[in-house]
Amino acid sequence: MGTLYAWLLNCFLLISVMGLVAFQLIMLMDLEFDYMNPYDTASRMNLVTLPEYFAHGLLCIAFLFTGHWFFFLLSLPYLYNNIRMYLQRRHLVDVTEIYNQLSTEKQQRLFKLGYLVILLVLCIFWFLWTIEGFE
C-alpha cells in the first residue's frame, strides 16, 4: 500500500510541475498574440518560476526517497538545467527583453513540457505495471 501512495505522490508532483510550465507557456502565447502587456506577462511568469523549480526539486527528492531510481535519473537533466539557470540568474524573464527572447523562451517551455509529458507517461505506465504485479 505504501508503494501506491508513493506513486500517487510522485504523479501529483509531476502534474503540478507540468501545470506550472503550461501556465508559463500560456502566458508567452498570450503575449505573442497581444492579449497581455509585457509587464504583466513577465511579472506573472517570474512569480511561478521559483515554485516550478521548488516543485521539481521535491519531485526529484520524492523519486530518490521512494526508491524509484530510474525516474530520479531521468529527472536529473531537468534539475541540472534549473540549477544552472538559477545560478546564472537567467531564470527570470526581463520585461525589456521579453519580445526579443519570446521564441527562445517558448521553445524552452515547450521542450520542458514535452520532457515532462514523456516522464508522466512513463511514470503512469510503470505505476500500472507495479500495481498489476501486486495482484
Q: How long, in residues, is the chain?
A: 135
CA distance 3 to 47: 34
Instruction: Please count the structural domains in the chain.
Output: 1
Please state, in angstroms and as integers, the Cα–Cα distance from residue 83 to each residue in 20, 51, 56, following that order.
Answer: 17, 13, 11
The per-residue pLDDT for 1 is 64
In this predicted structure, the answer to whether residue 18 has a pLDDT above a threshold of 70 is yes
pTM, whole model, 2 decimals? 0.92
What would the pLDDT profile of 74-129 be if each residue is shown by its tens digit? 999 999 999 999 999 999 999 999 999 999 999 999 999 999 999 999 999 988 88
What would the pLDDT profile of 38-61 be if each residue is shown by its tens digit? 999 999 999 999 999 999 999 999
3-state secondary structure 58-115: HHHHHHHHCCCHHHHHHHHHHHHHHHHHHHCCCCCCCCCCCCCCHHHHHHHHHHHHHH
The per-residue pLDDT for 127 is 85
Helix, coil or strand: residue 37: coil
CA distance 7 to 99: 40
Q: Confidence class of residue 135 from pLDDT cuts 50, 70 and 90?
A: low
For residue 77, the enclosing domain spans 1-132
In this predicted structure, the answer to whether residue 67 has a pLDDT above a threshold of 80 is yes
